[in-house]
Amino acid sequence: MKLKALALVLLAASLLSSGCSGSTDNAGANHTNNATNAAATLPVFENVSVHDPSIIESDGTYYVFGSHLASAKSTDLMAWTQISTSVSDDNPLIPNVKEELAETFAWAETDTLWAADVIQLEDGKYYMYYNACRGDSPLSAMGVAVSDHIEGPYRNLGIMLKSGMIGEAGADGEIYDATLHPNVVDPDVFYDKDGQLWMVYGSYSGGIFILKMDPKTGFPLPDQGYGKKLLGGNHSRIEGPYMLYSPDTDYYYLFLSYGGLTADGGYNIRVARSKNPDGPFVDSEDKPMEEAMGAFGTTFDDASYAPYGAKLMGSFAFQPTEGDPDDSEYGYVSPGHNSAYYDEKTKRYYLIFHARFPGLGEQHEVRVHQIFFNEDGWPVIAPYRYGGEKIGKYAKADIAGEYKFVNHNKDITADIQQSTLLTLSEDGTVTGAVSGAWVLGDDHTATITIDGTVYKGVFLRQYDETAARQTMTFTAMSNEGITIWGSRTVTP
């Protein structure tokens, strides 16, 4: 796999993550009238390593903050510059961090930090929600630090939540139970459409929870305990919650990562939605996410919760075909722990996540892909990383051809979904590895029926970095919450 990467600076520490695992359609807003204007110039990618990247925009620059106090920035979501890499006293975000957060490290019995989240509150200051976890138990602490500048330095304001206390009362006054109570890591702090501040958080253990926050102090409002439970429990491998509100669909989308973060862990990205920031959330089959949890008395019982949540992406590989460079395999291994961003100016949506790669072990980098919404209001993810493309108005002739085809399925698995070949013919038929029919709707709307199952999404012309060419793609989701991707092969 070609990566064109910067030198990777996260060694052993970069293998850790926030897991503590027991250890209305926006397509129209992006419309252009020329199917060939995908990119006047080739995109320039510069890669960085930030595990569990959480995005924030400030004064025209995008920042990602993640585990191990790593961070990076970009002005175009393509070329990134590393700011910080590890928990050390020379980290510019929190200088003298070992002393500044001594209480956090002592409680969590660790020397590193997990998935950070940064937000700008009403006073104009930047608030970093930090957290630490022992790793083989939910012994965790979460707190907040503040800075006048997004790149720091941040000053600690204190711990707000603790978990993992054996035989002692937790935040709700009840004896802490890891099957019911949260592991207080993986925060995402956000404003809802009415201006209320919230924090959704949690990983494995007792599940994903949400709290109302005080926008003046940055701390939880009083008398909430651990907050309201949204899903999970009984040590289910569900973590990394992130909330995105879409003004186009008027839904709150709760993104989640299922499985284990390592290259053999089966990490995959899922989503559920609600009209309210605190739920109840449902998946694309209208199943209540409150039921997504491990069976009682089990640990990491993936089969219990794999049916819940629409699956957006898992491990996959587009294999080279005739005419492609031999080393042009393109794919991800265990993509996950995403954040998401809506650009009010361009009306575009983005998914930001870390990914590992076929054959490269635990090496990971930040990736950004565009998000679109299908006719049913569910997000579908562009198959290739964002390269400045705009969705266009396409004709059947622009789309017809042979495609590398991936079905992401619904399971939690370490297996890499290898591409097969199918053909979209101009007569509307689908042939090859699967059979069915396809329809081009309004400019770029895709409806693809395969073996009786209907998938809805979009067609999109994108830049294939590994083959160094523009190509047509499709991304679509079924009512069962299964996503399919296609990338047209080189035309002979």
Buried b (16+ CB within 10 A) or exposed e, 172-182: eeeebebbbbb
β partners of residue 112: none
Catalytic residue among 25, 52, 100, 464: 52
Tokens of residue 193, six digits: 């459409």
Give the amino acid at 448: I
Active site residue 239: yes
Evaluate the CA torsion angle 116, 117, 123, 125 in order and state its sign: positive
Strands (E), 344-426: 348-356, 365-373, 379-381, 401-407, 417-418, 420-424
| Number of residues that this document lists for the chain | 492
> Coil, helix or strand for 56?
strand
Catalytic residue among 25, 100, 186, 239: 239
Q: How far is CA 279 from CA 224, 228, 273, 424, in A?
A: 16, 9, 8, 39
Tokens of residue 148, six digits: 């006048």
Active site residue 52: yes
Where residue 99 falls (left for φ over 0; alpha for ψ -120 to 50; beta otherwise) is alpha
Q: How far is CA 42 from CA 77, 86, 346, 468, 469, in A?
A: 14, 32, 20, 9, 9
Return the active site residues: 52, 239
